[in-house]
């Protein structure tokens, strides 16, 4: 991101800075709440979900010598519930469920009531796309 752009504009609410801060000086309030579901019987550990995740919420566990990677690791506290992993999974093993959106009606927060209505449409429609 270019220098001089306010952090609020660059932030994707992934909590990476909060997790990394050694002084616990940063608090990030996620916009969406939800959950990631993986059908472990279908997941082939191909890794495309890892490549597309903007918040580093999906990883392969650290490899041990002589052992194969059996499954991906979800770091749910980093997930922003964008659905990229769900869209790219070639075997439909991943689903993202958005449950709620946090917003403010005071006008000081970009997530005003107007935005909440738009986001509620995304939450209510699993794919976020009108049929």
How far apart are the C-alpha atoms of 106 and 87, rounded to whole Å? 34
| CB count in 10 Å sphere of residue 56 | 14
**Position 99 pLDDT exceeds 70:** yes
- What integer pLDDT is reported at residue 38 of this predicted model? 93
| Residue 17 counted as domain residue | yes
| Residue 75 counted as domain residue | yes
Give the range of the structural domain holding residue 75, as residue numbers without chain letter: 7-102
| Residue 92 counted as domain residue | yes
Place of tokens 């903007």: 54
Domain count, the chain: 1
What's the pLDDT band for 128 if we cut at 50, 70, 90?
A: very low
Residue count of the chain, please give it.
131
| Residue 121 counted as domain residue | no
What's the pLDDT band for 32 if we cut at 50, 70, 90?
A: confident
- What integer pLDDT is reported at residue 55 of this predicted model? 92
Residue pLDDT, tens place only, 43-81: 988 999 999 999 999 998 776 666 665 688 898 889 999
How far apart are the C-alpha atoms of 62 and 99, rounded to whole Å? 31
CB within 8 A of 46, min separation 6: which ones?
90
Query: What's the CATH number where 75 sits?
Result: 3.30.70.20
């Amino acid at each position: 991101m270019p220098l001089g752009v306010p952090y609020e504009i660059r932030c994707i609410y992934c909590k990476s800075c909060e997790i990394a801060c050694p002084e616990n000086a940063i608090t990030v309030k996620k916009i969406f709440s939800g959950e990631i579901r993986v059908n472990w019987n279908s997941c082939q550990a191909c890794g495309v979900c890892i490549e597309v995740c903007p918040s580093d919420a999906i990883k392969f566990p650290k490899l041990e010598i002589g052992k194969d990677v059996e499954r991906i690791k979800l770091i749910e506290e980093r997930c922003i519930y964008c659905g990229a992993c769900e869209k790219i999974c070639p075997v439909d093993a991943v689903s993202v469920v958005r449950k709620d959106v946090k917003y403010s009606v005071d006008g000081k927060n970009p997530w005003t009531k107007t935005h909440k209505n738009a986001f509620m449409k995304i939450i209510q429609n699993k794919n976020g796309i009108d049929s």
